[in-house]
Amino acid sequence: MALKITDECINCDVCEPVCPNQAIFQGIEIYQIDPARCTECVGHFEHAQCVEVCPVNCIPLDPDYAETPEQLQEKYRRLTGGDA
């Protein structure tokens, strides 16, 4: 399941550089997550890096993008072109 950034985001900029998949980008008003690139950090880290650094806890799971652990691994492989 990809994560999403809610409108509680204060544009503090700390999440964007910690994402290993370059899934986070500055939107028109707040930061956004590209669900095609978010693996919940599967393949890179044990915990979602953006969630760990966000000072206002505004990055929940996005139920619109339900994925199994296997699908997240597959997305990781596709994004990195490597084996997981």
- Binding span for ligand SF4 by CB under 6 A among 14-22, 64-72, 75-83: 14-22
Select from 1, 40, 75, 79 the one that contacts ligand SF4 (CB under 6 A): 40
Size of the site for ligand SF4 (CB under 6 A): 28
Q: Is 79 in the site for ligand SF4 (CB under 6 A)?
A: no
- Give the length of the chain: 84
Task: Work out whether 23 is an interface residue with ligand SF4 (CB under 6 A).
Answer: yes
* CB 51 to ligand SF4: min, Å: 7
Residue 14 in the binding site for ligand SF4 (CB under 6 A): yes
Q: 73 and 44 in contact (C-beta within 8 Å)?
A: no
Give the Cα separation of 23 and 17 in Å (integer).
Answer: 10
Tokens 């953006």 -> residue: 50
